Amino acid sequence: MLILTHRYRIYPDATQEQTLIEWMEICRSAYNYALREIKDWCLGRKCLADRCSIEKEYILSPELKFPNEIQQLNNLPKAKKEFPRLGEVPSQVLQQVIKQVHVGWKYFQERGFGFPRFKKFGQFKSLVFPQFKDNPVTNLHIKLPKIGVISINLHRPIPAGFVVKQVRILKKADKWYACILLQCDVSVPDPVPHGHPIGVDVGLEKFLATSDGVLVKPPKFFKQLQSRLRVLQGRLVRKKRRSKNYEKQRIKVARLHHQIDNTRKDFHFKVAHALCDSGDMVFMEDLDYRTSAKGMFGKHMLDAAFGQFRTIVKHVCWKRGKFFGEVDARGTSQECPECGGEVRKDLSVRVHDCPHCGYKTHRDIAAGQNIRNRGIKLISTVGQTGTETACADDLPGIEVTQSRQVSKSPKKRATRKPKP
């Protein structure tokens, strides 16, 4: 099974845009209602049965069952009679909203933290159409239930043999996109380690350094556009919230953010392809870059978006049949790639100069060579299985999930598991 996601720009006309925005608002209220039910159920069971809470009391029948996914889905038709507004949205889209609540809930249960939050006005930005009887996409239009045909810019054709499984309508700034999930019934073998290996070290001074000695300068998109962003943002805070002028200004800010995002992603893809051109196996560190984003260079770490870059490299490698592996990142900059001896150096030392064997090179290149060495060791000891990580489930286009947080042992006391 091969699944790809293609994102296309769509151009709804004024009425269609109005409808889509209205649907999103209705879905938002359904989302919040479903979450409220769950939250009330939890609060009603917070304190023991024989005593009262000092702050507030939730009185719910003890027989009340946990509002699980199936129950909430079954309640939708009843709710539609009470709130006819819900009937405006295609029912499958509405069902997806309930499913979304429970995905968040399940995730919270597993991790033990991160209770799902209510969505504020304007925070609900996408609609999922999960099923299509026949192909909704033609060269010029995409046909969606209840809303009709919307013009689409099919900048790349849908590959032969693929069927449209799902369409997600996405709003970014004032632009609209359709993320189309394509599926094909072929099995693709995972890339096997072979050929020329390269180790890639990423950093702020040099965006990346490979073991072959290639250095790529860091792009400073954010810095370039930052002064402009500051001006726009400064104008925004002086506007009255929810007013017309506020909305106009908000869109200007959102567009700029969107532009930065696009430029950065484009750069990442180009570099990733350049990497695949120069080698057959790519190794990177398994760092969680979000910890370093909290430090002194936080803004620049976020600007470079190393996490996204790694995901993109992974995807490009998979697409081009190159092997991708992640290696242990500990001390890659403190080791000599030639003799393996320890060479202590702090951040200000930019040259690797080994006192044991006399090997001398750029600091980041040495780190890249260490990563390469570790990668080769990894595939020779572990074998191919277990290290293969290339996959395409969250790529490209739609929200790149930033969930690299490792789940700690969930606190049993704080979050009680609901009995279904």
Residues that bind Zn ion (CB under 5 A): 336, 338-339, 341, 354, 356-357, 359
317 vs 388: CA distance, rounded Å:
11
Judged by beta carbon, residue 344 or residue 419, the one nearer Zn ion is 344
In a 13 Å sphere around the CA of 200, the CA atoms on its Cβ side amount to: 26
Q: 271 or 336, CB closer to Zn ion?
A: 336
Question: What is the distance between the alpha carbons of residues 171 and 10, in angstroms, rounded to a whole number?
Answer: 10
Of residues 66 and 359, the one with the C-beta less far from Zn ion? 359
**Tokens matching residue 4:** 């790809």
Amino acid at 299: K
Residue that has been written with the tokens 């039910």 in this structure: 37
Q: How far is the CB of 366 from Zn ion (least distance, A)?
A: 9
Nearer to Zn ion, 77 or 341 (CB): 341
Write down the least CB distance from residue 276 to Zn ion, Å: 30
Q: Which of 91, 120, 144, 113 is nearest to 31 (CA)?
A: 120
Instruction: Rank residues 355 and 386 by Cβ distance to Zn ion and give the closer one.
Output: 355
Measured from the CB atom, is 6 or 374 closer to Zn ion?
Answer: 374
Measured between alpha carbons, how far is 337 from 343 in angstroms, rounded to an integer?
10
The CA-based diameter of the chain, rounded to the nearest angstrom, is 80
Query: Considering the complex, what minimum distance in angstroms separates the CB of residue 359 from Zn ion?
Result: 5
Question: Residue 340 Cβ, how far from Zn ion at the closest point, in Å?
Answer: 7
Q: CB nearer to Zn ion: give 350 or 356.
A: 356
CB of 358 to Zn ion, least distance (A): 7
- As measured in angstroms, the least distance from the Cβ of 335 to Zn ion is 9
Q: What is the dihedral of CA 23, 28, 33, 34, to 10 degrees?
A: 100
Rounded CA gap, 232 and 173, in Å? 14
In terms of Cα–Cα distance, which of 136, 143, 183 is closest to 159?
183
- Of 40 and 338, which has the nearer Cβ to Zn ion? 338
Report the alpha-carbon distance of residue 330 to residue 347 in Å, rounded.
15
What is the torsion angle, in degrees rounded to the nearest 10, for the CA atoms of residue 274, residue 275, residue 276 and residue 282?
-170
Tokens of 14: 């004024």
Minimum separation from the CB atom of position 413 to Zn ion (A): 52
* Shortest spacing between CB 374 and Zn ion, in angstroms: 16
Three-state secondary structure of 133-198? CCCCECCCEEEECCCEEEEEECCCCCCCCCEEEEEEEEEECCEEEEEEEEEECCCCCCCCCCCCEE
Cβ proximity to Zn ion: between 163 and 357 the closer is 357
Closest CA to 219 of 256, 265, 182, 175: 265
For strands 323-327 and 281-285, give the pairing: parallel
Min. distance of Cβ 211 from Zn ion in angstroms?
Answer: 15
